[in-house]
Chains A and B, each alone.
Chain A
Amino acid sequence: MAWFSKSKSKKENKSSDIWIKCPKCENHIFKEDWSNNLNVCPKCNFHSKISAYERIGLILDSGTFEEINISIYPADPLEFVDAKESYKDKVAKTRKKTGLNESIVTGVGKINGIKVVVAVMDFRFMGGSLGSGTGEKILQASNYSYDKKIPFIIFSASGGARMHEGILSLMQMAKTCAGIARLDERKVPFISVLTDPTTGGVSASYAMVGDLNIAEPGALIGFAGRRVIENTIKQKLPDDFQTSEYLLEHGFIDFITNRSEMKNKLYQVLSFYNR
């Protein structure tokens, strides 16, 4: 259930200090142009990953973000040890490297003056995997939405459930969805923004059940991994399989929006929400 392509994220970063090689079109892009263009390839419009705080900077009115539950970080309930290291050590390293405590940042802020609750996943934190801390932060954010009747927006970027937390991780799917289910009763909008990648247990829970599901272009979105499917059905899958565009075509996405226009699109949509 939890899967993600490690090689892909490595490729994106494996470049010189000045140039970035786009993992999709393989053009060499001047690093400054790459980041000025919001980590989107100026040649082929490939939307590569961005950090949670960078995304918050793009979406919320400057100075309006107030983070909640910043101190939640993973425990190690299973005392999980993988081939190289313990989960505990992995978490410690990841926290140090990313400056994040969990795979998601939550809080409140404004989009062109409209108050929203946001939860933004960060792929750098263990592949954006859904752990107990992630689930708790999403639930508390959605509870805040529910209590204050403020629209809730989740930006997903995740390989799925976090194996290191076993069954507890799986159950976060039910936990987060239980929170979102309550929003209906108060007519609070829930918008899911799916970015690259949104797969496994995250796609099979909160990411796919927005009142609106919005995707960035070219994002990998799907339940089962490509290799698992190919091994099961013994045939090659089409190139566009499990992309934003593929999901749009099959009816699971409301629309696809470029990163540069996301804030404005969200604002337009929210303006239809009338309390």
Chain B
Amino acid sequence: MKQKETSVSEMEEMLDKLKAMTGAKDSDFADQIAKIEKLIEVKKTNIYSNLTPWETVQIARHHKRPVLNDYIKLLFTDFIELHGDRRFSDDRALIGGFARIDGQPIMLIGHNKGKNVDENVIRNFGMAKPEGYRKALRLMKMAEKFNVPIVTFIDTPGAYPGLEAEERGQAEAIARNLVEMAQIKVPIISVVTGEGGSGGALGIGVGDSILMLSNSVYSVISPEGCASIIWRDGAMAERAAEALKVTAGSLKELGIIDEIIEEPLGGAHNDYESTIMSVKKAVLKHLKKYKGNSESKLIKKRFAKYSNIGVFNK
């Protein structure tokens, strides 16, 4: 994947050089430039419309992919971060607070991946601990009290697998959220923006609508983890990614998610602006969908949605 992308960016670099050399008005070169631009476009389309699941995993994890902080800056306004679970501490890997989208108040909760080592040390690569999930629940309960819809942004390799996390009840914290989210009396829109890593993702993912960016992934276990358990070989991750059916397209087919948000050509990391616009449009559309639903109708619908998930024989 990286090689394919590199060849495109090399071509783009050459094109930029050519443009700089010739100047925009040089008509002799205009044709040539247009041709090269077309070529790049075709190449990008080819790459991005034929991604293998494993390649999609790489894009979902791309270090330049927009993270929560980008959405906070570019999509939402008036973000007021609310800290702490009131029990133990404030998890930097999973954050939340009031925000507005297109003027509408919401409660925004999301995994807080960083883009470089320094950020990720503080944010723990978006891997939350029990206090993160408990903070999320506190904020969801507050949203319910103030009758504000909840929007969750999912982007995590998984819940943090550490000694303290186990000690403080990682399992209980996630489980509690699953129970409580089923009964929350305001709409919940969940958007998988990058990595939907297992229980750590689901812990804030019990939405009335679940949306996925087209190059994001959502899985019960990381392809690497699956490979090492089932094939006893972490190098089989590529095959595991395929077998696990982790892409947005697969999840739509399986009836798990409600909508795929198309990313711009070249992936979200190549064009923040249009990515943000698409996400904004989709979130607004789904928020509108639940407007005017009574509390009991909302909860009944949510219960029916999750009751129907599963494929088995009888």
Q: List chain A positions with a Cβ less than 8 A from chain B.
A: 1-3, 71-75, 77-78, 80-83, 102, 131-133, 135-136, 139, 161, 163, 165-175, 177-182, 184, 200-201, 203-209, 221-225, 228-229, 232-233, 235, 237, 241-242, 250-252
Contact = CB atoms under 8 A, between A and B. Distances in A.
Given A161-B221, A181-B180, A209-B179, A171 B309 contact: yes
Interface centre among B162, B219, B221 (most CB of A within 10 A): B221
B183 to A, nearest CB: 5
A161 B198 CA distance: 10
B88 interface: no
B220 interface: yes
A234 to B, nearest CB: 11
B220 A169 contact: yes
A174 B221 CA distance: 16
Interface string B165-177: 1111111101110
A168 B244 CA distance: 10
B178 interface: yes
B66 interface: no
A229 B158 contact: no
A170 B169 CA distance: 19
A1 B244 contact: no
Interface in B143-171: 158-163, 165-171
B220 A161 contact: yes
B311 interface: yes
Contacts of A80: 243
B256 to A, nearest CB: 6
Given A204-B174, A209-B172, A250-B168, A75 B221 contact: no
B312 A74 contact: yes
Given A136-B310, A174-B309, A206-B175, 11 more contacts: A72-B312, A167-B246, A168-B254, A170-B199, A171-B202, A173-B178, A178-B206, A204-B170, A225-B161, A233-B162, A237-B163
24 contacts: A1-B221, A73-B313, A77-B311, A78-B243, A82-B243, A83-B232, A163-B220, A167-B246, A168-B254, A170-B220, A172-B310, A174-B202, A175-B307, A175-B310, A178-B302, A178-B307, A204-B170, A207-B171, A223-B165, A223-B166, A224-B161, A229-B161, A233-B162, A242-B166
Interface stretch (B6-14, B30-38, B54-62, B223-231): B223-231
Contact of B220 (A1, A174, A209): A1
Contacts of B307: 139, 175, 178-179
A223 B161 contact: yes
B175 A205 contact: yes
A233 B164 CA distance: 10
A163 B223 CA distance: 10
Contact of B166 (A72, A131, A177, A224): A224
B35 to A, nearest CB: 43
B226 to A, nearest CB: 5
Contacts of A166: 219-220, 243-246, 254
Contacts of A241: 163, 166
B306 interface: yes
Given A177-B175, A177-B182, A223-B161, A131 B169 contact: no
Given A1-B199, A78-B244, A71 B254 contact: no
A240 to B, nearest CB: 12
Nearest to B183: A181
Nearest to A221: B171
Contact of B179 (A2, A132, A168, A181): A181
